[in-house]
Amino acid sequence: MTSPAPGRPPVSPDSRDHPPQAPVRAERRAVTEQESRRANGPDWDRYADDYQATHGEFLGDVGFVWGPEGLTEAEAGVLGDLHGRDVLEVGSGAGQCSRWVRAAGGRSYGLDLSHRQLQHSRRIDVATDVAVPSVLATATALPFRDASFDVVFSSFGALQFVADIGVAVDEAARVLRPGGRFAFSITHPTRWMFPDDPGEAGLVASQSYWDRTPYVEVDDASGEVSYVEHHRTLGDWVGLLSGAGFALTRLLEPEWPEHHERVWGGWSGVRGRYTPGTAILVADLR
Ligand SMILES: C[S@@+](CC[C@H](N)C(=O)[O-])C[C@H]1O[C@@H](n2cnc3c(N)ncnc32)[C@H](O)[C@@H]1O
């Protein structure tokens, strides 16, 4: 069983980075967009304080990292020149990346499903004096007019949490201006073959890469779906992007840095030296 989002505690008690808030059982089964959203918003509300306490320093209040390997946007240059650009971050959490975009001269805006994550964003706005105007909404219904942005990006934000991924990608295309850029990081699709264990047990493939059945946590007490993640193969992503009018220009698979020993959920040097943990897809609207 795998729980692939960085920041999520793996279900395996051996590698859990903090205790779960309620006993859950993990399954693979079909779930709708409504179920995904109804579970993930409250889940991120419950988890936000821990997430920011555990990872906030690594992320940096005005910092842009693309994933647990620590690759920064300053190093990757995925988004291009941001000066004077209108930029939307989808699944912005506490807005660290968007704050970095602001510091680089862009007009960035945040969007997230979790009210508590956005409260953290506001807290850091005040502390840093770099404010990211943000909205509580979902990636599948962006509350913006057509052709409003030059760049839409997401750093491990909403995309692996939505069921209606075609709708989310179409929404990104709709709010972008012609030639606009869409860039996002996700759990590398190949990771779905492996148990979510940062140790050596996480290096042995145990599930089919082609099994798109969502990962679901169910609250033991209520029987309600309490957390959902969705898997798409690399081929699925290429099809989704080209179907929405994008041309894929880059696929980055950051290598695990030599002296980087941080463990983040199922991400670690033990695994990262052998197998990619993060994929960054970059696409331009035709
Ligand atoms: C792993 S966090 C990443 C946040 C931020 N980009 C960072 O690097 O810390 C995932 C974020 O996606 C948000 N999210 C989940 N589903 C979403 C949806 N359907 N629409 C918008 N945001 C969503 C969560 O609330 C959470 O803040």
In this structure, what CATH number is given to the domain that contains residue 250?
3.40.50.150
Average pLDDT, the chain: 94
Domain count, the chain: 1
Ligand 1 contact, 226 CB (< 6 A): no
- pLDDT in the model for residue 202: 97
Q: In Å, how far are 9, 81, 104, 149, 251 from 285, measured between CA atoms? A: 35, 17, 23, 12, 16
**Position 217 in a domain:** no
3-state secondary structure of 101: helix
- pLDDT in the model for residue 18: 38
**Position 267 in a domain:** yes
**Position 198 in a domain:** yes
Atom number of ligand 1 nearest to Cα 89: 6
Q: In Å, how far are 194, 198, 228 from 273, measured between CA atoms? A: 15, 11, 28
Ligand 1 contact, 114 CB (< 6 A): yes
**Position 244 in a domain:** yes
User: What is the mean pLDDT of the segment spanning 250-273?
Assistant: 97
In order, the DSSP letters of 42-98 are HHHHHHHHHHHHHHHHHH-TT--B-STT--BHHHH--S---TT-EEEEES-TT-HHH
**Position 14 in a domain:** no
- pLDDT in the model for residue 128: 98
Atom number of ligand 1 nearest to Cα 162: 19
- pLDDT in the model for residue 168: 98
Per-residue pLDDT reduced to its tens digit, 165-220: 999 999 999 999 999 999 999 999 999 999 999 999 999 999 999 999 999 999 99
* Ligand 1 pocket test target in 161, 165, 171, 215 with most atoms within 8 Å of CB: 161
Range of the domain at 136: 24-208+235-285
**Position 101 in a domain:** yes
**Cα angle: 278, vertex 190, 71; to 5 degrees:** 10
Ligand 1 contact, 68 CB (< 6 A): no
* Ligand 1 pocket test target in 52, 113, 167 with most atoms within 8 Å of CB: 113
